[in-house]
Structure 1
Amino acid sequence: MDTILMLFSVAAVTSAYLIWFYFLARKLTGPKVWPVVGSLPLLFMNRRRIHDWMAGNLRSTGGAATYQTCTIALPFLARKQGFYTVTCHPKNIEHILRTRFDNYPKGPTWQAAFHDLLGQGIFNSDGDTWLIQRKTAALEFTTRTLRQAMARWVSRTIKTRLWRILEKASEENISVDLQDLLLRLTFDNICGLTFGKDPETLSPDLPENPFAISFDSATEATLQRLLYPGFLWRLKKIFGVGAEMRLKKSLEIVETYMSDVFTARQETPSDDLLSRFMKKRDVDGNFFPSSVLKRIALNFVLAGRDTSSVALSWFFWLVMNNPQVEEKIIDEISTVLRDTRGEDRHSWIEEPLVFDEADRLVYLKAALAETLRLYPSVPEDFKYVVSDDVLPDGTQVPAGSTVTYSIYSVGRMKTIWGEDCLEFKPERWLSTAGNRFEPPKDGLSLVPGHRVEQKMSLTLFLKNGLHVYLHPRVLAAPGVATSA
């Protein structure tokens, strides 16, 4: 009798769950979901191509550009922690980032996952803490201070280090990993701007930098925390296995480096970003403690290093594969340099471009904008829903759930960019006359066999780097074909 009663109870509970799951699944518009595990199997299967997988799901919605799914198909969790709304609808993104900004903070899931690495830095804070950092950074990154930083750090590094490395590779006909060189360039520059310290990772012998390596490792390990339910990474952290073990070891190296930098700035304050924050007070009127200051600085290293180098890597890859675009860029640069530096072509390459010269490179700016359209440095972002809301396209988002907006997918929607949305076409950013940048309503060749793929990371790295051979170019008068 007890056995029959138990079997009946199990059957009743199972039937009730399946009925509940049936009605839940009917409302979901994203990838297929299964009982209990939701869409986690598909997420796991596509983890190495997550951005294209999301874009494919969004394209399959037609003009809706929004879908909803759940990763944990259990009562309560399915409408809270496991419920995801993914969108690339422009009006929805504007709603999330501007109209109802206060309703969409980073939230507890993101903050818990990134706390060990980013602490209360700008990428992992909300409200007043975020606002103070944003205002301070805005004062630092003005046109004037950025131009000073360019003169002090960037131009010098390009001329005395990057150019020499590229020239040597060209003369000896050896390949270089352009993404690695650009990462070293931006890392050295952002460390100078943030700490007032140049680690000189971009040197002829390309030295290994423990901080840079550990920082990369920690970022990748932290990102994995977002892909799966929180209890999984917490268990791995308790037992010190897998990615959590790598994260712990990497953070120890990062912490040692940041402590040394902070001590140096305490002894000799300068005009760098860390020194500025050391003079600031938090929302309670107190100076930021050292632990917070170190994480604030680390956030800016993440922002300044990865995003710029990743964008430039994709830019060079696209230009290499579109020779007609390359020819237009070179022609424009030659036109500007002849006008500003005269007919002596040797003087054209003696010094890096200055701001006034760069401002005139309209087509180059359009090509960079087109690169970011197709390969945005930060392809996705996640937001927590504080209160029930309805997005502009009519999608209902429940409190406690997550909204992911996919910038990567925005650039791949025919409904936004037209049938040629996957083409690299800088002209779409230019005025009809082609002489003005209007947002729309040296030679390189890839190493044979080198595969260009996306890497699963916070920023859109090229998984295997960008290995290229460099060919010297003789700049000619504008409009005259040149040979590499």
Structure 2
Amino acid sequence: MVSFSSSLQWVCVHICLWDVSFALMGLFIFSCVIQRMTNKGPMLWPVMGMIPTVMFNMKNNYEWITAALIRTGGTFPYRGMWMGGAYGIVTVDPSKIEYMLKTRSINFPKGRYYRERFRDLLGDGIFNADDESWQRQRRVATAEMHSSRFVAYSLQSMQDLVQKKLLKVIEKLVNSGDHSIDLQEMLLRFTFDNICAAALGVDSGCLAIDLPEVPFAKAFEQATELTLLRFLTPPFVWKPMKLLGLGFEKRLKEATKLVHCFAEKIVKERRNELIKCGDLNHRYDLLSRLMVMDKSDEQEKCFSNKFLSDFCISFILAGRDTSSVGLAWFFWLLQNNPDAERRILSEINDIVSSRREINDTNETVFTVDELKKMVYLQAALSEALRLYPPVPIDIKEVVNDDVFPDGTDVKKGARVLYCIFSMARMESIWGKDCLDFKPERWIQNGQFVAENQFKYAVFNGGPRLCLGKSFAYKQMKMVAASILMRYEVKVVEGQRIVPKVTTTLYMKNGLLVSFKPRLVNCGTTTQ
């Protein structure tokens, strides 16, 4: 009797469990069906939000987001894991971007979500700051970066680096008979050396003739890539990992420690030099000029060593990846657009031929005035940056409830992601030829015409418009013109060139190219 009663009880319990399971399954399916009926955007799963959909499309994330934005007319809602609390919208709408970056920029800062994930690497540097901290850093950076002294110094550093290092590395490669080199890696080394010279006044040694492995540069690369994982991992996962020193958080801690030790060492040495010499008039790098500015301002002497270290690390992050990655995509695009390459070479030829003295091609160093005349080259570079923006996605956080011009509501705490990569692929923004590499779209009456910064958000916009935009164009034009006038750059066949899902639009497996000296160029014969 007891046995029968127990068995009956066991059966009833299991029947109840089955009923509950079926009910939950039915609710799950019903929720999914309703969500698909009411939302044209990516699937928002119960509990997990958009995370499963993102993971399913990890190999082609940017193309998937672009397709979703085209399907939804340029904006769709998203939601992260239930426990994570992430929600908001993804957009490519220029009017929304202008509203965020300019009209109501005060209500759309980088926000705690972004700053928290980058804090270990960037601290309170300008790239990771909001409000008064950002305004102060922006003010001092603008004053120094636009000074004639810094502009002249940064140009000279750029010219020397191209002439004495970059071209020497390529020359050695050609003379040694090596068939190929990873162009993306070589350009990353160049921009790292260049930004270290401009920001810190030091030679990082990345572009030495034997292309050595530099611990600081390697650590910086690892730190930026590992920081991305914090954006893909819920905070209730990565924060305990950080606390316990596990997995990628352990490696991130080691990498950021090395980065900060290097920067702090440079700052301390420069501070001691200032104390010992009484001035730094022989130095024109950003760090030195900030120290001199601080010393001369008796009312506001508060540039601590940490402030200067964080400031410079932010500038290295901004200057290292963007130009190099943009140039790598530029050279790849030229491979498939020989007419554009011919026009660039013709433009360079005209500029060099107009010189009073024609030097050997290998000795040619371009001046600022000559770089300004390279209109078609600037258009081609702008087109490459449009199609493959170095920062493919950016994010803002909503401080208070707001309404976009088209009536879209965003609530306090929401995040707005704007996909710069997808903007270039929207016919509604760039026309039916949006997928074409077409430098001519940037030229009117023989002059370069810049696009609206909220349609072309490559250099950000509004109050946070990139301070280094002019520097970046000079750098890219100097490198591209110096290489193209001397060498034919051929992409090695058989490569699958796809973007890597990270904070910067790297090519996933790099870009193998070969260099062949041009036989006749700019009216001279190469030796």
For normalisation by structure 1, the TM-score amounts to: 0.89
**CA distance in 1: counterparts of 2:45 and 2:130, whole angstroms:** 34
Matching residue of 2:277:
none
Question: Aligned AA for 2:126?
Answer: I
Deviation digits for residues 188-210 of structure 1 (CA, Å, limit 9, x no counterpart)? 11111111111221111111100
**CA distance in 2: counterparts of 1:140 and 1:450, whole angstroms:** 43
C-alpha RMSD over aligned residues: 3.0
Do 2:74 and 2:93's aligned partners in 1 also have CA atoms closer than 8 Å? yes
Report the secondary structure of 1:453's partner residue: coil
Question: Aligned AA for 2:53?
Answer: L
Whether 2:57 is the aligned partner of 1:69: answer no
State the Cα distance separating 1:473 from its structure 2 match.
Answer: 1.0
Matching residue of 1:375:
388
Do 1:340 and 1:357's aligned partners in 2 also have CA atoms closer than 8 Å? no
Whether 2:206 is the aligned partner of 1:224: answer no
Whether 2:125 is the aligned partner of 1:121: answer yes
Whether 2:261 is the aligned partner of 1:239: answer no
**CA distance in 2: counterparts of 1:146 and 1:319, whole angstroms:** 32
Question: Aligned AA for 1:414?
Answer: E
Report the secondary structure of 2:394's partner residue: strand
- Structure 1 residues 439, 276: CA separation in 2 closer, same or farther (over 3 Å shift)? closer
State the Cα distance separating 1:341 from its structure 2 match.
Answer: 4.3
State the Cα distance separating 1:235 from its structure 2 match.
Answer: 2.2
Taking the TM superposition and a 5 Å limit, the aligned residue runs for 1:348-363 are 348-363=361-376
Matching residue of 1:324:
339
State the Cα distance separating 1:9 from its structure 2 match.
Answer: 9.5
Matching residue of 1:305:
320
Deviation digits for residues 62-115 of structure 1 (CA, Å, limit 9, x no counterpart)? xx21111212247xx7xxx32131011111110110001011111111111111
- Structure 1 residues 26, 71: CA separation in 2 closer, same or farther (over 3 Å shift)? farther
**CA distance in 2: counterparts of 1:144 and 1:67, whole angstroms:** 46
**CA distance in 2: counterparts of 1:291 and 1:225, whole angstroms:** 24
Do 1:341 and 1:347's aligned partners in 2 also have CA atoms closer than 8 Å? no
Matching residue of 1:83:
87
Question: Aligned AA for 2:500?
Answer: K
**CA distance in 2: counterparts of 1:401 and 1:280, whole angstroms:** 38
Taking the TM superposition and a 5 Å limit, the aligned residue runs for 1:144-293 are 144-145=148-149, 147-174=151-178, 175-269=180-274, 270=280, 271-278=284-291, 279-280=293-294, 287-293=302-308
**CA distance in 2: counterparts of 1:419 and 1:13, whole angstroms:** 46
Whether 2:48 is the aligned partner of 1:37: answer yes
**CA distance in 2: counterparts of 1:358 and 1:210, whole angstroms:** 34
Do 1:179 and 1:466's aligned partners in 2 also have CA atoms closer than 8 Å? yes
**CA distance in 1: counterparts of 2:522 and 2:23, whole angstroms:** 82
Report the secondary structure of 2:418's partner residue: strand
Deviates more, 1:352-361 or 1:389-398: 389-398
Taking the TM superposition and a 5 Å limit, the aligned residue runs for 1:22-61 are 28-61=39-72
**CA distance in 2: counterparts of 1:362 and 1:288, whole angstroms:** 40
State the Cα distance separating 1:47 from its structure 2 match.
Answer: 3.1
Do 2:393 and 2:421's aligned partners in 1 also have CA atoms closer than 8 Å? yes
State the Cα distance separating 1:407 from its structure 2 match.
Answer: 1.1
Deviates more, 1:234-243 or 1:398-407: 234-243
Matching residue of 1:420:
433
Which of 96, 100, 103 is the matching residue for 1:99? 103
Do 1:28 and 1:69's aligned partners in 2 also have CA atoms closer than 8 Å? no
State the Cα distance separating 1:37 from its structure 2 match.
Answer: 0.6
**CA distance in 2: counterparts of 1:325 and 1:146, whole angstroms:** 33
Whether 2:450 is the aligned partner of 1:439: answer yes
Do 1:29 and 1:69's aligned partners in 2 also have CA atoms closer than 8 Å? no
**CA distance in 2: counterparts of 1:169 and 1:140, whole angstroms:** 38
State the Cα distance separating 1:16 from its structure 2 match.
Answer: 8.7
Alignment gaps of 5+ in structure 2: 1-8, 275-279, 453-483
**CA distance in 2: counterparts of 1:231 and 1:438, whole angstroms:** 48
Question: Aligned AA for 1:351?
Answer: T
**CA distance in 1: counterparts of 2:513 and 2:269, whole angstroms:** 39
Deviates more, 1:14-23 or 1:243-252: 14-23
State the Cα distance separating 1:275 from its structure 2 match.
Answer: 3.0
Question: Aligned AA for 2:215?
Answer: P
State the Cα distance separating 1:277 from its structure 2 match.
Answer: 3.7
Task: Provide the identity percentage.
Answer: 39
Name the count of aligned residue pairs: 469
State the Cα distance separating 1:413 from its structure 2 match.
Answer: 0.5
Do 1:215 and 1:251's aligned partners in 2 also have CA atoms closer than 8 Å? yes
Deviates more, 1:127-136 or 1:37-46: 37-46
Do 2:150 and 2:285's aligned partners in 1 also have CA atoms closer than 8 Å? no
